[in-house]
């Protein structure tokens, strides 16, 4: 008997997203050493592709950390925050709160810009906060996975720069699916993951440090996430840790797919399928938590109607349609479903399938749609 998965789940939750056959085949490439000449060529190619996908400026260092998106978060924080640093953290959901906790663990004096869950941050609120408190570092989430909100990071990063602060941006659910331009927006450090809009398996965290961040790095407490040691491996071929060649091959192929489609076309596809989903759910009387102007295209926070048992509906989708969606976190537990349309999972056929599955789940609980 084996416990290995033998069913291809239709992954339409907050992540992981569907992995394309091309990426799966790449991941099955023969294993090579972390210092094999071919592996080092792969690392150079991945660095160049990541710099282009982040749209980083010259002089930036783009690479991937071994670990999930949280490892990217810790890499950014541990190399830019020291004991006594003033860190202003925009908290508009679960992952903004995690950023605040991470900064505290690395010794920062954290001041929070708290935003109602389900709403985007007002850049003027951040400006008022910095006028009153100041900051050395401003940390924010671009795509808040817990609420389906897209924060106006371009404007927020400009406010932070006006106050002389470095910016750390969480792009875990936006890189490759929502417009993001690290260079043009003046972002100093930005991290993501491989298992969402990039369409790979989890296990690596793409990250980029811009020139200002590289100049103002601190000597961190972490060995594993030390930026200078990671530069030694990625740039100067010195041993740091045994990086997975299978995951690097998967990321290489994921980034190749992104570039073949083109970022602008990819963003447009995610927007188009998001709008199709919103319209199809409206036919069932379902609405989204955020206001239209604040909505993510990649993660849709669907309100659970009164009288509907949230986990029962999710179980119905899984058991009857093989579709996985996510539950709400924190104060939104039981109040929303989190539906991800990311990477290969952002497709019209899946929107139509999901619409039918939701109709079936609601009917199972006595809520029928009448034309």
- Domain residue extents for the chain: 10-15+262-364, 22-260
Q: Give me the pLDDT at residue 276, please.
A: 98
Rounded to whole angstroms, what are the CA distances from 160 to 163, 169, 339? 5, 12, 31
**Is 341:274 a contact under the CB 8 Å cutoff?**
yes
Closest CA to 112 of 124, 98, 100, 130: 100
CA dihedral 83, 112, 158, 178 (to 10 degrees): 110
Name residues whose C-beta falls within 8 Å of residue 1's C-beta, 6 or more positions apart in sequence: none
Based on its alpha-carbon atoms, the radius of gyration of the chain, rounded to whole angstroms, reads 21
**Is 284:337 a contact under the CB 8 Å cutoff?**
no
* Angle in degrees, 0-180, between the axes of helices 69-80 and 227-236, rounded to the nearest 10: 110
Q: How far apart are CA 23 and CA 237, in angstroms?
A: 26
CATH 3.40.50.300 fits 22-260, yes or no: no
Fold classification of 10-15+262-364 is 3.90.1150
Q: How far apart are CA 90 and CA 126, in angstroms?
A: 8
Q: How far apart are CA 137 and CA 110, in angstroms?
A: 10
* Angle in degrees, 0-180, between the axes of helices 37-54 and 245-261, rounded to the nearest 10: 40
* Averaged pLDDT, groups of 10, the chain, 371 residues long: 91 97 97 96 98 98 98 98 97 98 98 98 98 98 98 98 98 98 98 98 98 95 96 96 98 98 98 98 97 98 97 98 98 98 98 98 87 53
């Amino acid at each position: 008997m084996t416990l290995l998965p033998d069913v291809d789940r239709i992954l339409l939750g907050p992540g992981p997203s569907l992995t394309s056959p091309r990426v799966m085949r790449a991941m099955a490439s023969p294993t090579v050493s972390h210092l094999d000449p071919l592996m080092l060529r792969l690392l150079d190619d991945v660095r160049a592709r990541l710099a282009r996908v982040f749209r980083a400026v010259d002089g930036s260092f783009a690479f991937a950390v071994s670990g999930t998106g949280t490892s990217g978060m810790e890499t950014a924080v541990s190399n830019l925050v020291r004991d006594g640093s003033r860190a202003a953290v925009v908290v508009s959901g679960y992952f903004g709160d995690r950023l605040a906790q991470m900064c505290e663990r690395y010794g920062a004096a954290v001041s929070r810009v708290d935003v109602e869950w389900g709403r985007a941050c007002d850049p003027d609120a951040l400006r008022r906060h910095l006028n009153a408190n100041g900051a050395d570092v401003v940390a924010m989430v671009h795509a808040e996975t817990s609420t389906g909100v897209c924060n106006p990071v371009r404007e927020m990063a400009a406010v932070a720069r006006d106050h002389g602060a470095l910016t750390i941006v969480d792009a875990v659910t936006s890189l490759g699916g929502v417009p993001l331009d690290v260079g043009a927006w003046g972002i100093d450090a930005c991290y993501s993951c491989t298992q969402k809009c990039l369409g790979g398996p989890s296990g690596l965290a793409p990250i980029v440090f811009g020139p200002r961040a590289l100049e103002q790095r601190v000597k961190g407490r972490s060995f594993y996430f030390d930026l200078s040691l990671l530069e030694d491996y990625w740039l100067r071929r010195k041993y740091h840790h045994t990086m997975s060649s299978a995951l690097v091959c998967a990321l290489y192929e994921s980034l190749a797919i992104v570039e073949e489609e083109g970022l602008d076309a990819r963003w447009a596809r995610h927007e188009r399928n998001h709008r199709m989903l919103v319209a199809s759910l409206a036919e069932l009387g379902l609405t989204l938590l955020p206001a239209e102007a604040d909505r993510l295209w990649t993660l849709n926070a669907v309100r659970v109607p009164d009288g509907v048992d949230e986990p029962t509906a999710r179980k119905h989708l899984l058991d009857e349609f093989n579709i996985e969606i996510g539950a709400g976190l924190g104060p939104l537990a039981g109040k929303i479903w989190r539906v991800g349309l990311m990477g290969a999972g952002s497709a019209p056929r899946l929107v139509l399938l999901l619409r039918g599955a939701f109709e079936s789940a609601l009917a199972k609980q006595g809520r029928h749609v009448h034309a």
